[in-house]
Copies of this chain bind each other. A is one copy, B any other.
Amino acid sequence: MEALIGVLTVSDRASRGEYEDISGKAIIDYLKDVIKTPFRIEYRIVPDDRDLIEKQLKEMVDELGCSLILTTGGTGPAHRDVTPEATESVCDKILPGFGELMRQVSLQQVPTAILSRQIAGIRKNCLIINLPGKPQSIKICLDAVFPAVPYCIDLIGGAFIDTYENKIKAFRPAK
């Protein structure tokens, strides 16, 4: 069975078409590069509006059946940045280890990594992960957390996902 993976870009300007959404594209390219099992992508873009972000996340999980959603943008300290709040409010459980690790690896690049409020959580059978807005930071974060993603989705009853081992060594404990 094909996995459905949501990619949600959160950006006032990109959603108005003022610039190209290179962040969303970077996520899609990353997924195509590392996942070897069949999957489809559901791509959406919204402005930095908490209600609209929540509405999209709920729809992508409850109606479309996504097993994984990756958001990009809206995780900083500015007043318009509300992606973590929207994510937290639609999730049943928060997984603090994702945000901790993503900030830790980003901190090796820039000291302002501590300004990112990115979180990850579970809604029903779907893992939702907030990624930063910058393409180079997206790759650093995904490289760090992706080894734990397939097993996490197993544990919550989502679709089976496996990766190319030379790209991402996904970990599943021996039975």
Contact = CB atoms under 8 A, between A and B. Distances in A.
A171 interface: yes
**How many copies make up the complex?**
3
Contact of A101 (B76, B93, B107, B169): B107
B111 A97 contact: no
Contacts of A122: 77
A111 B147 contact: yes
A150 to B, nearest CB: 10
A160 interface: no
A136 to B, nearest CB: 11
A148 B96 contact: no
Interface residue range, chain A: 35 or more
Interface in A74-116: 76-79, 81, 85, 92-101, 103-104, 107, 110-116
A49 B68 CA distance: 27
Interface string A133-165: 000000000000101100110011100000000
A50 interface: no
Interface string A35-74: 0000000000000000000000000000000000000000
Interface of A: 76-79, 81, 85, 92-101, 103-104, 107, 110-117, 122, 127, 145, 147-148, 151-152, 155-157, 169, 171, 173
Sort A-B residue pairs by CB-CB distance and give the 7 closest, nearest first: A97-B114, A111-B147, A112-B148, A97-B103, A78-B155, A111-B171, A111-B148
